[in-house]
Amino acid sequence: MTPTMQPHLLQQDAKAQPIDRVIAQVGSVILGKDRQIRLALACILARGHLLIEDLPGVGKTTMAHALARTLGLEFHRIQFTSDMLPADILGVSIFDRGAGAFKFHPGPVFAQVILADEINRATPKTQSALLEAMEEHQVTTEGETRPLPRPFFVIATQNPSQFVGTFPLPESQLDRFLMRIRLGYPDNTAERALLKGGERRDMVSHLLPCMNAAELLEIQQKVRMVHASDALMDYLQALIARTRQSPHYVNGLSPRAGLALLHSARAWALMHGRNQVLPEDVQAVLPSVVGHRLQPTGDHAHHKDLAENLISAVPIP
Amino acid sequence: MDNKPLSFRNIVWLLLALALVAAPHAERLPPWVSIFAGVLGLWRLYIAQRRLPLLSKWLLFSMLGAGIAGIYLSYGVILGRDSGVALLVLLTGLKLMETNSQRDAVMVLFLGYFLIITNFLYSQTIITGLYMLLVVLVLTAAWIGCNRPSHDYPDKLKLHLAGTLFIQSVPLMVVLFLLFPRVQGPLWGLPQDAYSGTTGLSDSMSPGSLSQLTQSDAVAFRVKFNDPAPNASTLYWRGPVLWRFNGRTWYGRTYAVSEPPELQALDKPLRYTVTLEPHNRDWLFALDMPGTFPPQAGITPDFQIISNAPVRSRMRYEVASYLKYQTGINENPVALRRALQLPRNSNPRATELAQSWRRSAGDDSAIINRALNLFRKENFYYTMQPPLLGEHPVDEFLFDTKRGFCEHYASSFTFLMRSAGIPARIVTGYQGGDFNAIDDYFIVRQADAHAWVEVWLKQRGWVRIDPTAAVSPLRVEAGIAAAVPATDPLPLLVRHDYPWLREARFIWDAMANNWNQWVLGYTPQRQAQFMTRLGMSEATWQNMAIALLLASGFIMLGLAGMILWRLRTAPRDPVQLAYHKFCGKLAKDGLARHPAEGPQDYSLRLAQAKPLKAETIRSISELYIALRYGTLADKLAVKRLRQLVSGFET
């Protein structure tokens, strides 16, 4: 091995190019939220569903919309309300006089990207209709099972649960979301640009796709191939073990949460042009992946601190 | 530690720990104190559960006043052992009623630790020790809980942490036990009432006094023979010798300690060590007849070994006895006169019988045989439940009831002898003992209490006669359990009915004996012996203090080392070793890698801090990443990494 051979180790992957374009384009609409956009994209690349939780008006819906358009995917938006029924999402069979038979009218869930807006406004029954579709990638109504399109993923937004008129998602359903991210207020510069700039909604509708569904599926396939070494598995397991032993958490991370962490870290690594997962990749996605899965034993600890404490408490082996 | 209010769960733990500490005291305290403390605990629990406000100071003060007054009325004193403990329990209960913050809780927990010590004032057995260990664990767990008030720490982890702390403290505990300079006697003077309630022989004997004692299976003493042990039937453990009789009761202690009486040995001395349980009296026990006596004691003319002070803690001493002996041929005439004295007009029928014997048979030994034959042939029974006797107990026993225990036989036999003009005295003590084959020693219990007679014959001096043996030879040969009827009440541990119980009892007693000998009996002398054996030239307290400090220092270092060893991230493969060397070099330069810092982040930080070395740093980091996290597995690459790291200089 000679030093001249080294640069290829971190050589940019050819497929990373469209990813960078996606990030740049979404970033032009959602200002100053580069990290959140990357996390959201990593979540999609890892074939996970995304939950965006924040105050009204910080751009949750706009971001979901921008992501769908930029990825060139078919997009449906479902605004959740408290009087919504499962059929409003899944679809309903109506008798067709002409054909003399029941005909199924697919609901808004039959799309590649579902934006489930304010999911915690719906009743648990309706929530679970969507969440089951998320898990199974298929819909069963009136005894018939219909597959959902591929790729299929859900971007759900919700208001913090202390807001009036919400049905907070139970832990078991939160677990179905690979990541939960928070947008937060924009910083000063971004805010100024936002105030000066045009109408966000118009901007989104003028966005051009940067890739198509086939390309996305291919990248998702590549994510699975990213190498995770034994040393990295050691680190991952040390992190999981810590959550199970430490008195600071009500419950430790489940095996599914461990897999979620690994897949997200793989996607993060690929997005950053690497073919192997580094501890830094795990650390980058960890707050979003475990934030909604770990409950602190005390009342005061903030979720973000929780993840940061976990990272700093576990040495990299 | 701060003043945050305690959570309900912490209060439950606190109450549980205190209940466990105080529980053994409950049987010793007056019932009202136990109930009062219990009610206070439950009250506190109720307040905590309902989130009610705590009691007012005035109510607490009045309860305190009432409590102190109650203790004074119950005990007559405030500062005794028993009253002190009662006061402590009461005050702990009252302190609970105003405990709401962590700081108060820690105060109460310290009181709990102190209450543990008070339990050892009453009992120092293995069981007590183990129980207190459990209590320490629970108290410590409660303490851990109180130190984490903001979130409810899981109970399992509390106990786990308490257990870990305990195990870590064991080596230190052992060193402190072995090396802490010992003082003779208890660390502080105990009040007088500390020794009440000990059982044992007294220096008087009336009908019923010994049979009551045999209801106790408490250990009187344990004996280890240096040579092969003699047969149990020859084991007469000599205690108080009784001379004076008032018609009903025999009284002892006629002589003070003086010159050792003359004793003519007829065989080799038998050497043995006695470990005497405290009995709060000053006499020691030895086999008939003791030829030597321990240095801290003296001997009376009638062969009672008298200690210099009442035996208030377990005492070990060595004695040598002669089982075959001759003594008292030249007995002092005053003593012989004393051995003939009887009260006037007492027990007329027995007096008449003895005098008739004297008239018909001239020889002393013939009279003795007639008396023994009387017991043997006239339907006398050996029982622990003899009928009550009236004004002339000897008469009633000999002619009417004919049922009695050893004190009845010894007493009436002595009475008959004296009435017939033969000098006689009663010896009380213990007879026989259980041989514990586990550790080769004899256990003598209160149930083995016995009384026998010594008569004085002209040519032979004082001769031991055991009239009980005439009635019930089994008593002497096989012990009390074999001799009394099966329906007689006997303590469970003395019975012979259950062989497995007997076996288990021997194992347990062997453990208890070792505990007594080596843990409780770790006296200054034993400590000095032990130190000398460890190679300490002079076992002064200064030397021991130095050794103590050194040993505890080493233990703390060892523990710290162990904990650090576990924290270290042990690199094993060459890639890790090389990278750790690289990190080590930079750590010396003030650029240590945080344990949770990934290699790429670290590399970026280093490159910023050392722009001149950025190229090498990047090469090393990239190679390391490729080897550790990538798919590169190439010996040449590992070698290259090692070369790069070796050549790297900050």
- The ranges assigned to domains in chain A are 13-223, 226-317
pLDDT at B627 (0 to 100): 87
Query: Do B285 and B240 touch, CB atoms closer than 8 A?
Result: no
- Summary mean pLDDT of chain B: 84
pLDDT at B140 (0 to 100): 93
pLDDT at A298 (0 to 100): 65
pLDDT at A265 (0 to 100): 93
Residues of chain A with C-beta less than 8 angstroms from the C-beta of B157: 247
Least-confidence region, from A89-103, A270-284, B484-498, B540-554: B484-498
- How near does any CA of chain B get to the CA of A279, in Å? 6
Residue B286 — very low, low, confident or very high, per pLDDT cuts 50/70/90? very high
Indicate the pairing of strand B286-287 with strand B236-245.
Answer: antiparallel
pLDDT at A237 (0 to 100): 92
Catalytic residues of B: 406, 450, 466
Q: What is the value of ipTM here, to two decimals?
A: 0.81
- How near does any CA of chain B get to the CA of A15, in Å? 19
Query: Do A160 and A184 touch, CB atoms closer than 8 A?
Result: no
**Mean pLDDT along residues B245-251:** 86
Contact A278 B637 (CB under 8 A): no
The answer to whether residue B121 scores a pLDDT higher than 70 is yes
Residues of chain B with C-beta less than 8 angstroms from the C-beta of A315: 569, 595-596
The larger pLDDT score, comparing residue B479 to residue A91, is at A91
Query: Do A168 and A161 touch, CB atoms closer than 8 A?
Result: yes
Most confident of A57-61, A256-260, B149-153, B472-476: A256-260
> What 3-state class would DSSP assign to A93?
strand
Tens-digit pLDDT profile for residues A184-228 = 888 888 888 888 877 777 788 778 888 888 888 888 888 988 998
The answer to whether residue B574 scores a pLDDT higher than 60 is yes
Residues of chain B with C-beta less than 8 angstroms from the C-beta of A277: 629
Rounded distance between C-alpha atoms, residue A125 and residue A128, angstroms: 5
Fold matches, A13-223 and A226-317: no
The answer to whether residue B148 scores a pLDDT higher than 80 is no
Residue A8 — very low, low, confident or very high, per pLDDT cuts 50/70/90? very low
The domain locations on chain B are 8-153, 204-492, 574-647
**Mean pLDDT along residues B614-637:** 85
Contact B630 A9 (CB under 8 A): yes
Residue type, B18: L
The larger pLDDT score, comparing residue B4 to residue A136, is at A136
Q: Which two tokens stand for residue B94?
A: 């009252």
What percentage of chain B has pLDDT greater than the value 70?
92
* Cα-to-chain-centroid distance, residue B207: 32
SS3 helix, strand, coil % of chain B, rounded to 5?
A: 55, 15, 35
Rounded distance between C-alpha atoms, residue A148 and residue A138, angstroms: 5
Contact B596 A314 (CB under 8 A): yes
Tens-digit pLDDT profile for residues B361-386 = 778 888 888 888 888 888 888 887 77
**Mean pLDDT along residues B63-71:** 91
The larger pLDDT score, comparing residue B419 to residue B570, is at B419
Tens-digit pLDDT profile for residues A52-62 = 888 878 888 88
Contact B595 A316 (CB under 8 A): yes
Rounded distance between C-alpha atoms, residue B59 and residue B43, angstroms: 14
**Mean pLDDT along residues B511-531:** 81
Contact B154 A247 (CB under 8 A): yes
Residues of chain B with C-beta less than 8 angstroms from the C-beta of A272: none
- How near does any CA of chain A get to the CA of B157, in Å? 8
B91 touches chain A (CB under 8 A): no
The answer to whether residue B354 scores a pLDDT higher than 60 is yes
Indicate the pairing of strand A113-117 with strand A75-79.
Answer: parallel
Query: Do A179 and A48 touch, CB atoms closer than 8 A?
Result: yes
**Mean pLDDT along residues B261-288:** 87
pLDDT at B135 (0 to 100): 94
Which residue is closest to A2 within chain B, CA to CA? B640
pLDDT at A6 (0 to 100): 38
**Mean pLDDT along residues B510-531:** 81
**Mean pLDDT along residues B426-455:** 87
Residue A4 — very low, low, confident or very high, per pLDDT cuts 50/70/90? very low
Residues of chain B with C-beta less than 8 angstroms from the C-beta of A316: 569, 595-598
Query: Do A157 and A53 touch, CB atoms closer than 8 A?
Result: yes
The answer to whether residue B494 scores a pLDDT higher than 80 is no
B547 touches chain A (CB under 8 A): no
CATH of domain A226-317: 1.10.8.80
Residue A1 — very low, low, confident or very high, per pLDDT cuts 50/70/90? very low
The answer to whether residue B483 scores a pLDDT higher than 80 is no
> What 3-state class would DSSP assign to A133?
helix
**Mean pLDDT along residues A33-52:** 89
Cβ-nearest to A229 among B151, B597, B630: B630
**Mean pLDDT along residues B212-228:** 83
**Mean pLDDT along residues B586-606:** 87
Contact A247 B157 (CB under 8 A): yes
B271 touches chain A (CB under 8 A): no
Rounded distance between C-alpha atoms, residue B271 and residue B563, angstroms: 52
Class of domain A13-223: alpha beta
> What 3-state class would DSSP assign to B593?
coil
CB pairs under 8 A between A and B: 75
Contact A278 B622 (CB under 8 A): no
Contact A297 B151 (CB under 8 A): yes
B489 touches chain A (CB under 8 A): no
Cβ-nearest to A300 among B150, B596, B634: B150
B626 touches chain A (CB under 8 A): yes
Residues 6+ apart with CB under 8 A from B571: B577, B579, B580
